[in-house]
Amino acid sequence: MLLPFQFLISCLSAVRLVVAIDNSFFTSVDIRDVTTSYRHVLDPEHWFMIEAELFVCAGQDKDVFLSIPEDFTSIAETPFNLLHKSQAVGRVVAQDNIVKISFPNPPSRNITASFKIVAKLSKDALVSIGEPQVVEYVFHSSQGESFKEWLNYVGKSMDEVTVNSGHYEHNRTTWYTVDVPITQLDEPVIIFSEPRTDAYTKIHTDKTRCELVTSVDAFNEATEWVPVKPIEDLSSENAIDMTFDKNLEGFYLRIIYFAERLDRAANSGQVNFQKRLSGEIDSEREASEGADSF
């Protein structure tokens, strides 16, 4: 008569085993413009980095979920590791704006872990940001938390030089723009800009063009422009080096150039910009780049 009793015991322990452990919770969610690492966004077409942190309790074996607001799209669906101090403690996979975190090997102790995903704004979301504003995004988790995070969409400065860049993966070409407000052209200036990447890059000098922006939208982005030519152009495959006349009328001068990236490994780089007045460095600015290679 021992056998049925033993059978009952083993059934009970089996039942115990399938009671899922689920005391984990999210502690933070953060969104940033990948290119600048700021929540102030000059170019809403950049990639955004969404970083979530969570407390994972010992033995967690139930999946947890985080919803990403519908405004975000282009989220890669390839699974990747959930990390705790660069050690894999779970698996993360995103699908239809729901991020699922599973624990094939439940952790043996309480830990904190985090993951990052990159996303772009959807076409509808881009259209709805018609003027500079702060937009709030709400993230909900399966564990009951919700996080309200904001991005501040700001207009281009009309006092300072701004630089921007992005990457076309299909032909491995990086584009750069350098926008110089007309107020900065109070004297003839020399504009010097060079892509700075870990790898060697080569500027396609024949594709460089300069435009005088004559009309702008609510974000001071160009809506109308005319081609202009520098009074002197000493540009090479390594750098843009141009001198402009002071007698230009409009909002800003835009230099657009393209560079070929010769090393696939380099996913990020910078633009080095200098404006020189009568041989002296008047201002210098750097902007990071490389977001679009995700």
As a whole number of angstroms, the distance between CA 144 and CA 158 comes to 44
Minimum distance from residue 207 beta carbon to ligand NAG (Å): 6
Q: Closer to ligand NAG by CB, 58 or 281: give it.
A: 58
Which stretches of the chain bind ligand NAG, using CB under 6 A? 23, 57-58, 110, 168, 171, 173, 204, 207, 258
Tell me whether strands 252-261 and 201-203 are parallel, antiparallel or unpaired. Answer: antiparallel
Six-digit token string for 241: 């080096």
Q: Closer to ligand NAG by CB, 10 or 27: give it.
A: 27
Cβ neighbours, 10 Å, residue 95: 10
CB contact at 8 A, 239 and 225: no
Q: Closer to ligand NAG by CB, 59 or 188: give it.
A: 59
Minimum distance from residue 209 beta carbon to ligand NAG (Å): 11
Minimum distance from residue 116 beta carbon to ligand NAG (Å): 24
Q: Which residues pair with 7 in a beta bridge?
A: none
CB contact at 8 A, 130 and 218: yes
**Residue from 167, 161, 224, 170 nearest 191 by CA:** 161
Q: Closer to ligand NAG by CB, 7 or 168: give it.
A: 168
Minimum distance from residue 46 beta carbon to ligand NAG (Å): 17
Q: Closer to ligand NAG by CB, 110 or 152: give it.
A: 110
Minimum distance from residue 175 beta carbon to ligand NAG (Å): 7
As a whole number of angstroms, the distance between CA 248 and CA 185 comes to 8
